[in-house]
Structure 1
Amino acid sequence: MKTMTCRQLGGPCDHQLSAETADQVIKDQDRHLTQAVKDGDATHDQARKDMKNRWKHPKQSMDWYSGTKKAFAALPED
């Protein structure tokens, strides 16, 4: 299990997300952003929009995805 923060994934806070894989931590970040916005936290709105729009630009999204996977792999196990 490894832990990344919302901020490490491009968000505005230090909420911790723990998962076995980078893919799972990315999915957990998406849920966190969605819930924060739904709860009225405007600070997460831009990060949520960035997450949704990222996939409209394949090269940019793959760069972000590859970077996130590398950062996750470099983290120590919890």
Structure 2
Amino acid sequence: MLDIWLGLFPAIMAIGTVALMLTEYTPIFTYLSSPFVPLLELLGLPETQQAAPAVLVGFADIFLPAILGEASRVS
């Protein structure tokens, strides 16, 4: 179990950090989340312009390590 923690945890932290840096310092998630704004308005969420990028970043933080891990396994 320690081998899994020491091998996997740093990679997940690095990918999450890169995603967070992209969120803070580039407008990429704002552009990517623009199609979600009408959906969130339809659901009745307040402040949809701010909530849409946050939703997308949450998914990126969860799924990027799994996607990159699968891609490295295949190649």
* Structure richer in helix, relative to its length: 2
What TM-score does the superposition give when structure 1 sets the normalisation length? Answer: 0.34
Which protein has the larger Cα radius of gyration, Structure 1 or Structure 2? Answer: 2
Q: Name whichever structure is richer in strand by fraction.
A: 1
TM-score by length of 2: 0.35
